[in-house]
Structure 1
Amino acid sequence: MQPFVPASWVQDRDVAVVDVREPWEYDSIGHLPGAVNVPFDAFRSDEGEAGKLPPRAEWESLLADAGVGSDAEIVAYDDTQGVFAARFVVTALLLGHDPGRLHVLDGDFSSWQREHETTTDTVDPEAASYESDPDAETPLVDFETVRALLPAIEAGDVTLVDTREDWEFEEGHIPGAVQLDWRELVDEERRGLRPADELRALLADRGIDPKRRAVLYCNTARRVSHTYLVLRQLGYESVDLYEGSLTEWQERGGELVTG
């Protein structure tokens, strides 16, 4: 996988560019040439637990209406250092889109705007055909799986990663979790990922070893999506997503540790 791609990569290829910002930002501030707007709230499920995937039929209709076909190579972006775009990409991945054809712009709209053309021109995409793959393998794990893994987590055989902020972690986290705020992975000035050697050093410092299975969670699956893609970018092969995250964990009576 190459989840994060630079602006030069996007410019040189025929890809479906998806802007996940609010419609007013897309229309008034501008967007990448040819980009279609699929706002974050449009693919955030109103059903079930917070942060869960949208219904499959709604997702298929959303992408088809945006002119994104089943075999499209997709690059998503936001203006929040990639965290909302990452959620779009991971949603596509979990619903069966080819992982090798899913990317996040390394940076965001603000970083693109510094050096590249933007436009406020209306984009009227031609409807496409989009079918998801219900049989695709995904990295999802559920409440029961995470609970069953607690002994292995406590023993250090599996790394459970909490991608929230320090204060959230201190207020309550799953037993055995290590804390890694997703924002530590990005360069505030460049608005994209920090250099790979810095990322590997940071992950090593937190005990997140590429040779061990990692399970990631946050609150509602947005921040964890970004961290998942970063680990895959760095070559981590065994990375799982606890989609329900702490929201589901608490609602189902999972144990919490404070401090």
Structure 2
Amino acid sequence: MSNIPLLIDTDWLAERLDDPNLRLLDATTFLKPTSGYYDVWSGEEAYDKGHIPGAVFADLLGDLSDPDSKYAFTIPSRERFVKKISELGVGDESYVVVYDQGEAIVGAPVIASDWASRLAWQLRYEGFDNVAVLDGGFPKWREEDRPVTTEPGSYPKATFTGERRPELLATKEDVKKALNDENVILVNSLSEADFKGESDTYARKGHIPGSVNVFFGDLSSTESKELYDDEKLRKTFEESGALDPDKKVITYCGSGIAATWNALILNKLGQDNVAMYDGSMTEWADDPTLPLDTVKKES
């Protein structure tokens, strides 16, 4: 199967669970904000307690990030990624559906499959297009009383090729240049409180100057657990200017996770010129020479 949608629903996946070419990846990870950073841990224990039949666990935190980086979730080397993803069975002859088990931020009512979108983004960055994210993720699957198992999935090791797409990645230097470039839209994917500088999650408060705020958690319904319709999504992003076909968009968040969700939705809406700043606020705020803006509270 080729040219699968960027996002698929539970019916679509249920009809294909027995397809030998399907590779179903559970990318569950957990994050809890703390003062000055946050705690993160693997979702493998949650996977062991129950997952969609056939799925294998993809460890974003351990296997699919750079173990030598100062910051969590930094993209790994090409060699490391190819080795790990091949061992999961993802190769040139397969197509991939990625999901996660929800609770993007522990304790927060956020409905977004941003851990899944992170892995989908990494696959595209490494040159693999045949990947979709399950809209609503495991919470919607389970809510619909679809099959769940504790039996570990497995696929034969595959051959993964393709070439990296550097245009999908933004570095700190790219963002610094964007500060004075009217043709680049910087989209902050964090909460309004983070954007305004009312939280202390990162080394310094605020947002990158000139950026607009589109909170990734506002793009889905807490009731249906699915994305809002394209009309509503389009309105949200049009207000930010991010759908202008003549502009380049750079999305960022805390550590390049939620930013991939916003990038995915922008792609869905037809904006293809989108890069994701991998270091995001974790890296930017850690450098005292780089500017940050805050929004003062009205008195």
Provide TM-score, normalisation by structure 1. 0.89
Q: Map 1:112-191 onto structure 2 (within 5 A).
A: 112-153=141-182, 157-171=183-197, 172-191=206-225
| Secondary structure class of the residue paired with 2:291 | coil
Aligned equivalents of 1:123 and 1:179: distance in 2? 40
Q: Map 1:3-42 onto structure 2 (within 5 A).
A: 3-13=6-16, 14=19, 15-21=22-28, 22-28=43-49, 30-42=50-62
Give the gaps of 5 or more residues in structure 1.
none
The alpha-carbon deviation at position 194 of structure 1 amounts to 1.0
Normalized per residue, which structure has more helix? 1
* Identity, % of aligned positions: 26
Q: Map 1:35-54 onto structure 2 (within 5 A).
A: 35-42=55-62, 43-50=64-71, 51-54=73-76
The alpha-carbon deviation at position 136 of structure 1 amounts to 3.9
| Secondary structure class of the residue paired with 2:181 | helix
The answer (yes or no) to whether the contact 2:142–2:148 under 8 Å persists in 1 is no
The answer (yes or no) to whether the contact 2:53–2:151 under 8 Å persists in 1 is no
The alpha-carbon deviation at position 236 of structure 1 amounts to 0.8
Q: For the structure 1 residues 135 and 177, does the alpha-carbon distance in structure 2 shift closer, same or farther, using more than 3 Å as the test?
A: closer
Q: Are 1:203 and 2:237 matched, yes or no? A: yes
The answer (yes or no) to whether the contact 2:26–2:47 under 8 Å persists in 1 is yes
The answer (yes or no) to whether the contact 1:61–1:130 under 8 Å persists in 2 is no
Aligned equivalents of 1:116 and 1:92: distance in 2? 30
Q: For the structure 1 residues 234 and 41, does the alpha-carbon distance in structure 2 shift closer, same or farther, using more than 3 Å as the test?
A: same
| Secondary structure class of the residue paired with 1:152 | coil
Q: Are 1:220 and 2:255 matched, yes or no? A: yes
1:92 is aligned with what amino acid? L
Aligned equivalents of 1:49 and 1:119: distance in 2? 37
1:44 is aligned with what amino acid? S
| Secondary structure class of the residue paired with 2:75 | coil
Provide TM-score, normalisation by structure 2. 0.78
Aligned equivalents of 1:122 and 1:218: distance in 2? 35
Aligned equivalents of 2:178 and 2:263: distance in 1? 19
Count of aligned residue pairs for this structure pair: 253
Aligned equivalents of 2:25 and 2:277: distance in 1? 25
The alpha-carbon deviation at position 121 of structure 1 amounts to 4.2
The alpha-carbon deviation at position 135 of structure 1 amounts to 4.4
Give the gaps of 5 or more residues in structure 2.
29-42, 103-111, 198-205
Matched with 2:115 is 84
2:173 is aligned with what amino acid? E
Aligned equivalents of 2:194 and 2:118: distance in 1? 20
1:18-71 per-residue CA deviation (whole Å, 9 max, x = no partner) reads: 11222222222x211211111332323322242311233332232222222244
| Secondary structure class of the residue paired with 2:61 | helix
Runs (4+) of structure 1 exceeding 6 A deviation are none
| Secondary structure class of the residue paired with 2:180 | helix
Q: For the structure 1 residues 145 and 121, does the alpha-carbon distance in structure 2 shift closer, same or farther, using more than 3 Å as the test?
A: closer
The alpha-carbon deviation at position 205 of structure 1 amounts to 2.5
